[in-house]
A and B are shown apart, each in its own frame.
Chain A
């Protein structure tokens, strides 16, 4: 008697716990979005000039007489550093993934994987420090640039940081391609190159795309390393040797000191909303592309 009842209760309880875990992600996302929105909403609807916000590069949140909140330069900064980082990281990351999954022996494979995962374990402050000291000096000497804290520096650092993610997810995607595909291709007389280009890459397309997009997400969201490596300078860049400032770094540098609920504080939350939207759009596009691919 009692046994049966207990069992039923326990079962439904566990079921609920699991269900809660499942939907908790959605709850958290909405809660975070609502919180960020709430903090910035008042200023967003009442005072903020959206044209100025998006199309002016003048970021003077603490000016003594004429406060201006234009984030164009920050958007361009985030964009340029991310694009450069991906130009470096995606070919390297996917190349490494192909090499690890298809070319090397089991021993080398294991040691390479451990090494690459170690790369992911380096804290971003340490990356920033490397950017500030080592790469800064290198760029000054090699390119004869006035200062080594710039898009190139930030891009290199971010590329190094996103390569591990791209490699491990890309490698998983390649591993998921059934061996029968490989066997079939080899049986047909395909060379290794043909096997990779015609069989594996198309078969693992979605996974590889996801790998690249997660790398983008990492790059857009990274804060501390870019804060130190890009020079943190509100500037419309003309070349990769110019300093820039990113959206994330601005929030990190200024939020702690902006008086709570001041205009400046609220604008920083609106920048947070903007970042939220950017990542949302990136993920949505990825999702749509993947679905489009599936339909074919």
Chain B
């Protein structure tokens, strides 16, 4: 009798060890990011990165589900840097990026995975300057922005810009920005502050494009930058002029396409090496007119070749567009 009991305990103990071991084996067998993984007959494409692009990436993934139900696209945000980091580690198929990968990052990815990340421009975006909807300001210049955001910049109060906020709001400019590894952060720094200037410390560095607009809509004295696709009723987008005396331009789809809006940028998807199989099919589909229509619906700017504005391509590097017909 007692022996039986002991035997049972033995078996239980061994069983527990086996279960624990099995768990380790299962979790240890992570996918090694070469191409798509298939689970239960369905192909999965991992798509991570830019927070600016997460809306459009999600909309594409949903639409693609109807085009090709056998493929599911798993979209995650987190920031361009997250996508790049995942690409370097070889854990994503497509990395969304609102900035270009740096040479250092490309080298690292080559070293780790043996493949060179390939850039595909998939849409365009305008970075808009947002203020609270009750803010009387309508226009802003790069110089003013640099003085507000740049290190040792001199503008800290709205009165310095001759802006009288509605009563009750404090005069301090509440600077809202992005965390220091966001693609939008990099883009804004390069365009507005220049290569050799950093941000003034003390801006509220939020973790998402949407959070920026959310905070501004609740803070009368706030100013911030975020993708124009995140515009809401509660905030106002300022017209922006690159140089003083120039006419300030409104961030609209047309102005981004024509290149008149000074804060326009391409949005990228990176694949590891030349895309193949389902990843290639997806990237090709993303460039079709139907997919580019979704771009517009989401508040971003479609590829110029699709919108027939070919003679006025945006003033941006379009070196390796994956033109798809």
Chain B residues positioned under 8 Å from A57 (CB to CB): 201
Q: Mark B182-206, 1 if CB is under 8 A from A, else 0.
A: 1001100110000110100111111
Cβ-defined contact, B198 with A140, below 8 A: no
Q: Report chain A residues within 8 Å CB of B105.
A: 259
The answer to the question of A247 belonging to the interface, with a C-beta cut-off of 8 Å to chain B, is no
A3, A7, A227, A257 — which one has the most chain B CB atoms within 10 A of its CB? A257
Cα distance A14–B13 in the bound complex, in angstroms: 9
* B78 closest partner in A (C-beta): A256
Q: Are A140 and B181 in contact (CB under 8 A)?
A: no
Residue A10 contacts which of B10, B190, B198, B218 (CB distance < 8 angstroms)? B10
> A224-235 CB contact bits vs B (8 Å, 1 = yes)?
000100011111
Contacts A7-B6, A66-B198; is A256 near B204 (CB within 8 Å)?
A: no
Q: Which residues 1-33 of B sit at the A interface, judged by CB distance below 8 A? A: 2-3, 6-7, 9-10, 13
Interface presence of A110 (CB below 8 A): no
Which positions 213-228 of chain B face chain A at CB distance < 8 Å? 214-215, 218-222
Most buried by B among A57, A60, A73: A60
Nearest CB of chain A from residue B222's CB, rounded to whole Å = 7
Interchain CB contact under 8 A, B174 and A147? yes
Across the interface, name the chain B residue whose C-beta is closest to A147: B174
Cβ–Cβ contact A256 & B85, under 8 A: yes
Binary CB contact string for chain A from 134 to 163 against chain B (1 if under 8 A, 0 otherwise): 001100100011111100000000000000
Q: In the complex, A60→B189 CA distance in Å?
A: 13
Minimum distance in angstroms from B78 CB to a CB of chain A: 6
CA–CA, A17 and B181, complex, Å: 45
Given A6-B10, A147-B174, A257-B78, are A132 and B84 also a contact pair (CB < 8 Å)?
A: no
Flag if A257 contacts B81 (CB, 8 Å): yes
Q: Which of A10, A17, A64, A144 has the most CB of B within 10 A?
A: A64
Asked whether, in the complex, the Cβ of A259 is within 8 Å of the Cβ of B218, the reply is no
What separation, in Å, do the CA atoms of A148 and B221 have in the docked complex? 11
A8 smallest CB distance to B (angstroms): 10
Instruction: Report whether A232 and B179 are in contact in the complex, using a CB–CB cutoff of 8 Å.
Output: yes
Q: Which residue of B lies closest to A73 (CB)?
A: B201
- Contact: A243 with B195, CB < 8 Å? no
Partner of B207, one of A17, A227, A243: A227
Q: Which residues on A sit within 8 Å (CB–CB) of B219?
A: 136, 140, 146-148
Nearest A residue (CB) for B221: A146
Report how far A5 CA is from B314 CA in the complex, Å: 83
Does B89 make an interface contact (CB < 8 A)?
Answer: yes
Question: Size class of A's contact patch?
Answer: 35 or more
Cβ contact of B196, chosen from A65, A137, A231, cutoff 8 A: A65
Given contacts A62-B180, A144-B170, contact A2 B204 (CB under 8 A): no
B198 touching A63, Cβ below 8 Å? yes
- Please determine whether B88 and A260 come into contact, CB atoms closer than 8 angstroms: yes
- CB pair A64–B85 under 8 Å, yes or no, is no
Given the known inter-chain contacts A3-B3, A133-B218, A256-B85, please indicate yes or no for A146 contacting B79, CB distance below 8 A. no
**Is B172 part of the binding interface, using a Cβ–Cβ cutoff of 8 Å?**
yes
| Across-interface contacts of A64 in B (CB, < 8 A) | 189-190, 195-196, 198
Q: Which residues on B sit within 8 Å (CB–CB) of A253?
A: 179, 205, 207
CB-based contact A58/B179 at 8 Å: no
Q: Are B85 and A132 in contact (CB under 8 A)?
A: no
| Complexed CA–CA distance, A258 and B79 (Å) | 11
Asked whether any CB of chain A lies closer than 8 Å to the CB of B58, the reply is no
B82 at the binding interface (Cβ < 8 Å): yes
Closest to A61 in B: B180
**Closest CB of chain A to B47's CB: distance in Å?**
16
The listed residue with most A CB atoms (<10 A of its CB), out of B88, B195, B198, is: B198
Task: Collect the chain B residues with CB atoms within 8 Å of residue A6's CB.
Answer: 3, 6-7, 10
Q: B40 in the interface, Cβ–Cβ < 8 Å?
A: no
Distance between Cα atoms of A231 and B203 in the complex (Å): 8
A92 within 8 A of B: no
Task: Pick from A2, A58, A148: contact of B218, CB below 8 A.
Answer: A148
User: Given that A65-B195, A144-B170 are contacting pairs, would A7 and B218 also be in contact in the complex, using a CB cutoff of 8 Å?
Assistant: no
Contacts of A66 in B (CB 8 A): 198
Contacts of B201 in A (CB 8 A): 57-59, 73, 233-235
Which residue of chain A has its CB nearest to the CB of B179?
Answer: A253
B82 touches A256 (CB 8 A): yes
Instruction: Note all chain A residues with C-beta closer than 8 A to B85.
Output: 256-260
Residue with the greatest number of chain B CB neighbours at <10 A, chosen from A62, A66, A227: A62
A149 with B179, Cβ < 8 A, contacts A10-B10, A64-B189 known = no
For B80, the closest partner residue in chain A by CB is A257
**Sample of 4 further A-B pairs with CB below 8 A, known A132-B211, A136-B219:** A60-B180, A140-B220, A146-B221, A253-B207
A-B interface, 7 closest residue pairs, ranked by CB to CB distance from nearest: A257-B81, A257-B181, A146-B170, A235-B202, A146-B172, A62-B180, A231-B204
B interface residue numbers (CB < 8 A to A): 2-3, 6-7, 9-10, 13, 78-82, 84-85, 88-89, 104-105, 108, 168-170, 172, 174, 179-182, 185-186, 189-190, 195-196, 198, 201-207, 211, 214-215, 218-222
Q: Which residues of A contact B (CB under 8 A)?
A: 2-3, 6-7, 10, 13-14, 17, 57-66, 73, 132-133, 136-137, 140, 144-149, 227, 231-235, 243, 245, 253-254, 256-260, 264
Please name 5 pairs of A and B residues whose Cβ atoms are closer than 8 Å in the assembled complex, sorted by A. A3-B6, A6-B3, A235-B201, A253-B179, A256-B81
